[in-house]
Chains A and B, each alone.
Chain A
Amino acid sequence: MNYGYYPGCSLERNAAAYDVSTRAVAAHLGLGLDELEDWNCCGATEYIAINKLAAYALIGRNLALAQKQLHAPGNGRLAADGRAQLVAPCSACFLNLRKADRYLQDDETLRTATNEALAAGGLRYDPGTIFVRHLLDVMVNDVGFEEIKRRVTKPLTGLRVAPYYGCLLVRPRLGGELSNAEYPTELDQLMKALGAEVVDFPLKAHCCGGHMTQISAEVAYELLRRLLQNAADYKADVIVTLCPMCQLNLDAYQSRVNQHFGAGFNLPILYFTQMMGLAFGLDEKALGFGKEIVSAAAALAKIGEPPKAGAPARRRKDDKALPMPGAKP
C-alpha cells in the first residue's frame, strides 16, 4: 500500500530522528511513502492567527499538490472510497491539513476564495479528495497490532514507557482521529505489542505548551512540569511521543524546567517509530538515536534485563501518590 508523505518542516532537521525512523520502519513493513513534491510549511499555529485566507491558501497548496500527485492516473494509491491518502507524522501538520480539508468542504465562501488564490499559482483543490491521516493511525489501523507483533525480534521487555499523545492528534473531533479525545489507548497498545511495559499516564493527552516555550516560558514550564512529574510518578523510563513539537518541548526544555522548579527530571523523550525500529531489530544508527538531548542510552540499556525483585508497583502506594493537602504517612 502506498501513501503520500508530508514530512513537514520539523522533520527536516530538529525532528530528523522521527523522519529517518519513519522511513526505516515503513520500508521494513513494505509501506510505500511517496513524498509530496515541493511541499511547503503548513503554517503551524501561527498563520491562522494573522491572516485566515492566506493561511488556507498556504495549506491548500499542499492539498492541491497532493491531489495532483496522488491522483495521477495509474498510480494505484487510492483508498477504497476513491480518496488518496496523505500521511503526516507531525500532529500540527496533520491537524492543519485535516482541518483545512474539512472547513473547505463546509464553507463555500472560503473554498471559492482559496481556490481563487491557488489559481494564481496554477493549482486547485477539491475538498474531500485527499484523506489526511496521521502516521500512528496508519501503523495501528492499516498495519495492525498482529502484523507489528509478528515483526518484533527484540521485544522491549523491561522498559517502562509512558505513552504521550498530546493534543492535536486526538482533538478536535473532525472525524478520523484516535478512539478517544481525552484518554486514547492506541499508542499504549502499540508499545505493548512491542513488548514494553506501559505505565499508566493520566496526563497522556494534556498539552505540552506548544509555542508557549517561546512566548511565555513560565506558562509552558508549568505544563511541562506536570507531564514530566506525572511520568516520573509512575516510574516511566522513557516518554514516547508522536509529535515533533511535544518532543522538542519535553526534551530541549527539560533542563530549563529542572532549573525553574528545582527538579531533577531525567526522562528521555523518543518517537514511537524509533521504538518500533528498535523492536524490529533495525540498525539503531538508522533510527536517529542520540539526537535526543536527554540521553536515552541508560534507559535503553534496561531492555531485556530481568525485572528486579521488588520492582516498582504499577501504581504508587506511598504518601506522594496523590498530592492531597495534609496527607502524611
Chain B
Amino acid sequence: MTSPIHPQQTFLQDVIDATPGGDTLRTCLQCGTCGGSCPSGADMDATPRRLFAMIAAGLRDEVLQSNTPWYCVSCYYCMVRCPQEIHITDVMYSLKRMAIREGYTDHDAAPDFSQTFIGYVERYGRSFELGLATRFHLAHSPLRKVGIGTLALDMFARDRLALTPKRIKDMEGLHAILETAKAMARKAEATGGSKLL
C-alpha cells in the first residue's frame, strides 16, 4: 500500500524513515528471535516477526490496527538479540505514532495514557503523577478507583505523592521549543519528509 505522505512511497519506507537506524528493517530474516524474547508476546495479536512481514507486504491497515506496539514494554530484549540488529523497539514507537496520527487508536487506554502524561509535561515541564493517575483512571477504569485510592494513600502517607505539580522556571522557553517542533512536524506531514514524523 502506498503512503498517505508520498503517494509513490511504500508503507515499509514510511516505517523506515520514521525510525532512527530504520534501514535494517529491510534485512529481517523472519527468524522469530524477537517474538521468542518478548515478555508480552503472548498478549500480542501478531509477534514482531509477523508484524514485520505484514509491513513488508504493505498491510498498512492491519499493522496499524494491531495491538502489538501497544503491548511492547520497551525492554529491548528483542533489539539486543536480533541477528540483523533491527531497531525493533524503535520501530514499535514509530508504529504507535503512525497509528495515532492516522486515527487508528481512538479511545484506547495506551495512547490516552501517553497523551495525558505529556499533557502535564507540556504544561509544567515536569511529570505530575497524581494528576496523571486521577485523569487517566477516571476515564478508563473507574472501577479500579478504589484500589488506586488505597495505593495513592499508601504513597501519600510516605510523602511519595505530590499534590500539586512542579513547574520549571523557563516554561516560556520550553513552550516555544515544543510548539516549534510540533509546527515543524505538522509541516512535514503536509509536505512530505516523514523522517521527522
Contacts and interface: CB of A to CB of B under 8 A. Distances in A.
A and B interact: yes
Interface of A: 9-10, 12-16, 38-41, 43-54, 56-58, 60-61, 103, 106-107, 109-110, 113-114, 116-123, 167-168, 171-173, 181-182, 206-207, 209-212, 214-217, 219, 223, 252-253, 256, 290-293
Given A52-B196, A58-B178, A121-B177, A172 B159 contact: no
B29 interface: no
Nearest to A217: B144
B39 A206 contact: yes
B89 A172 contact: yes
B39 to A, nearest CB: 5
Contact of A52 (B79, B133, B197): B197
Given A44-B127, A171-B77, A252-B155, A49 B177 contact: no
A13 B160 contact: yes
Interface string B85-114: 001010001101100100000000111011
A306 to B, nearest CB: 32
Interface residues of B, number: 68
Contacts of A167: 74-77
Contacts of A50: 96-97, 100, 111, 114-115, 118
Contacts of A16: 159-160
A49 B97 contact: yes
A290 B160 CA distance: 11
Contacts of B110: 215-216
B161 A13 contact: yes
Contacts of B20: 103, 106-107, 110
Contacts of A113: 181, 184, 196
B185 interface: yes
Nearest to B163: A13
B73 A51 contact: no
A112 to B, nearest CB: 10
Given A110-B195, A119-B180, 5 more contacts: A41-B125, A47-B117, A53-B184, A171-B77, A216-B43
Nearest to A118: B177
Given A110-B195, A215-B110, A290 B158 contact: yes
Contact of A43 (B121, B136, B144, B193): B121
B170 A43 contact: no
A308 to B, nearest CB: 32
A15 B185 CA distance: 34
A303 to B, nearest CB: 22
Contacts of B197: 52-53
Contacts of B70: 215
Contact of B181 (A9, A13, A53, A217): A53
Contact of A216 (B77, B109, B147): B109
Given A38-B170, A57-B178, A46 B161 contact: no
Contacts of B185: 51-54
Given A41-B126, A110-B196, A182-B80, A207 B162 contact: no
A121 B184 contact: no
B119 to A, nearest CB: 10
B174 interface: yes
Contact of A117 (B18, B77, B96, B177): B177
B135 to A, nearest CB: 11
B45 to A, nearest CB: 13
B173 interface: yes
23 contacts: A9-B127, A13-B159, A14-B129, A41-B121, A43-B118, A47-B117, A53-B188, A54-B185, A61-B177, A117-B178, A117-B180, A120-B176, A121-B174, A122-B173, A167-B76, A171-B76, A172-B79, A172-B89, A211-B113, A212-B40, A216-B109, A290-B158, A293-B158
